[in-house]
C-alpha cells in the first residue's frame, strides 16, 4: 500500500470515529475500513447508535463480496463476547480477511484481549498499528478511560474575556464567547455523552444544555486555524478539538439530520435554597417531549442541615429523569464521577464557572482536559478569573476573535 492510500485510510478512520462519537452510548465509537491488497477502499463503517451494530458488523452488512486478499483495519479490537450483538471476532473470522490491523486492544474485562490465536488458526494475521491508534484515540479516549478508571473522561470548559475572567463580580448574565464559535461548540457538545452545570448556572441562566444547530450558527461560523506547531503524538484532547474544527463544516448537515441521536445527558446540580424557576422545568419538559426520551440527571447539593426535598420538586424530577435525584455533598466529586461511570457515560463536559473547578479539584486526572475559549474582543475588567486559565497549554487554535486553549492540569488550585 503506497503512502497516499495509507493516508486516505487513516483520514477515513478519523472521520468515521468522529461521526460515531456521541451516538454510541456506553459502547466505544469504533471505525472499520476494508481495503484490497493495493490499499483501495472497498467499504467502511462505524459503530451505530447504542444497541445497534458494532463497526465490523455494520461494515460487512454493507459489503458482502469477500476474498482472501482483503485487509480489515479496526480502531479497537473486535469484541469476543455476546452483548446486544454476537461477537465481532466470530464474524471477522467467518469473512476471513488476509490481515487485520488494530488501533487499540480492548481493556473491557468482558473481552478476551490479545487472544488472537483463533485468527492465526484461520490464516489471518493480526498486528497493532500505531498510526491507527493515534488517529482513533480522540474518539476512543472516553471509553478507554472509563473502562480503566470507572470514571468518564472529563472536560472543564469556560468562555473568558481577554483578561481571563469568566464573569463580572456581580455574576451578571452576559455573553462572553463570540457567535463565530457557536457552531463548533454545538458540535463539540454533540461529541459528549453528558453536559453538566452547577447550581449557580441553573439558577441564573436556566440553561437547556441540549445539542442544537441553527441557521444563524452556520452563517456565523468562521474558519479555524491551529496556532500550535507541534503536539504530542498521542494527545486525545487536542486531537478531538482539531477534529471538531476540521469536520464541523462538512458534518453539520448530518449532525442536524440526526439531532435526536446526538443528544447528551443533561446534568443539573440544584441548590435547595436557590431553585430554578418554573420556566426552567418547562423548558426541560419541552425537550423531553421533543426527543421522546428522558435525558436529565439531577444532583442535589446538601449539607448536614438540609431539609427533605418537596413533593413538587420530586415530581418534576420524575417527569424529566430516568433516575432518582442523587443527594451529594460539596466534597463528593469522587462519588459524582463514579456514578456517571456506572451509568456508562464515557465523556463529560462541565460548563464551568467556579463550581466544577472546586467540586472536582481533587478528582481530575492527567488525562482530563480544560477548554478555555478566550474572546479577545471581550473585556470584563476586575471580573472573576477562570481558575484554570493559567494551566499548562497543550494546544492553541484561533477562530475569529476567539483563542481556543486546550490545557491540562499542572498544579492544584
Residues identified as active-site: 56
Secondary structure E strands in 94-204: 99-104, 125-128, 153-160, 165-167, 194-197
- The burial of 109, by beta-carbon neighbours within 10 Å (0-12 exposed, 13-18 middle, 19 or more buried), is given as exposed
H-assigned helices in 117-175: 117-121, 130-149
Residue corresponding to grid cell 445497534: 52
CA-to-CA separations, 340 to 152, 247, 266, 291, in angstroms, rounded: 7, 28, 12, 22
Q: How many CB atoms lie within 10 A of CB 223?
A: 10
In a 3-state reduction of DSSP, which class is residue 226? strand
Q: What are phi and psi of 224, to 5 degrees?
A: -105, 150
CA–CA gap between residue 236 and residue 243 (Å, rounded) = 10
Read off the C-alpha cell for 286: 419541552
CA-to-CA separations, 95 to 67, 125, 393, in angstroms, rounded: 8, 13, 46
Provide the 8-state DSSP code for 37: T
Q: What angle do CA 155, 353, 247 make, to 5 degrees?
A: 40
Secondary structure E strands in 47-136: 71-76, 99-104, 125-128
In a 3-state reduction of DSSP, which class is residue 252? helix
User: Residues 121, 147: contact at Cβ < 8 Å?
Assistant: no
- The burial of 170, by beta-carbon neighbours within 10 Å (0-12 exposed, 13-18 middle, 19 or more buried), is given as exposed
Provide the 8-state DSSP code for 137: H
Amino acid at each position: 500500500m503506497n503512502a497516499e492510500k495509507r493516508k486516505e485510510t487513516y483520514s477515513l478512520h478519523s472521520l468515521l470515529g468522529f461521526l460515531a462519537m456521541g451516538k454510541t452510548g456506553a459502547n466505544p465509537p469504533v471505525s472499520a475500513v476494508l481495503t484490497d491488497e493495493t490499499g483501495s477502499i472497498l467499504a467502511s463503517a462505524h459503530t451505530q447508535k447504542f444497541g445497534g451494530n458494532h463497526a465490523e458488523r455494520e461494515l460487512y452488512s454493507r459489503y458482502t463480496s469477500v476474498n482472501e486478499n482483503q485487509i480489515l483495519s479496526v480502531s479497537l479490537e473486535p469484541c469476543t463476547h455476546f452483548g446486544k450483538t454476537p461477537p465481532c471476532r466470530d464474524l471477522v473470522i467467518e469473512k476471513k480477511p488476509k490481515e487485520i490491523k488494530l488501533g487499540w486492544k480492548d481493556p473491557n474485562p468482558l473481552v478476551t484481549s490479545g487472544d488472537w490465536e483463533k485468527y492465526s488458526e484461520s490464516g489471518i494475521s493480526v498486528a497493532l498499528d500505531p498510526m491507527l491508534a493515534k488517529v482513533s484515540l480522540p474518539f476512543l479516549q472516553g471509553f478507554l478511560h472509563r473502562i480503566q478508571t470507572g470514571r468518564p473522561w472529563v472536560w472543564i470548559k469556560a468562555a473568558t474575556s481577554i483578561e481571563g475572567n469568566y464573569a463580572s463580580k456581580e455574576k451578571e448574565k452576559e455573553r462572553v464567547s463570540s457567535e463565530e464559535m457557536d457552531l463548533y461548540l454545538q458540535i463539540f457538545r454533540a461529541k459528549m455523552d453528558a453536559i453538566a452545570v452547577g447550581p449557580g448556572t441553573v439558577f441564573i441562566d436556566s440553561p437547556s444544555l441540549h445539542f442544537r444547530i441553527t441557521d444563524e450558527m452556520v452563517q456565523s461560523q468562521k474558519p479555524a486555524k491551529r496556532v500550535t506547531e507541534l503536539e504530542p503524538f498521542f494527545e486525545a484532547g487536542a486531537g478531538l478539538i482539531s477534529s471538531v474544527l476540521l469536520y464541523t463544516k462538512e458534518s453539520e448537515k448530518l449532525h442536524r439530520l440526526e439531532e435526536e441521536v446526538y443528544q447528551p445527558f443533561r446534568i443539573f446540580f440544584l441548590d435547595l435554597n436557590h431553585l430554578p424557576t418554573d420556566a426552567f422545568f418547562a423548558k426541560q419538559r419541552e425537550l423531553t417531549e421533543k426527543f421522546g426520551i428522558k435525558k436529565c440527571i439531577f444532583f442535589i447539593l446538601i449539607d448536614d442541615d438540609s431539609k427533605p426535598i418537596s413533593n413538587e420538586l420530586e415530581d418534576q424530577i420524575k417527569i424529566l429523569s430516568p433516575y432518582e435525584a442523587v443527594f451529594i455533598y460539596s466534597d463528593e466529586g469522587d462519588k459524582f464521577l463514579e456514578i456517571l461511570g456506572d451509568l456508562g457515560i464515557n465523556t463529560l463536559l462541565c460548563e464551568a464557572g467556579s463550581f466544577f473547578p472546586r467540586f472536582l479539584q481533587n478528582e481530575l486526572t492527567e488525562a482530563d482536559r480544560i477548554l478555555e475559549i478566550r474572546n479577545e474582543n471581550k473585556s470584563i475588567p476586575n471580573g472573576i478569573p477562570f481558575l484554570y486559565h493559567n494551566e499548562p497549554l497543550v494546544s492553541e487554535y484561533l477562530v475569529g476573535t476567539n483563542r481556543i486553549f486546550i490545557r491540562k492540569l499542572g498544579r492544584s488550585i
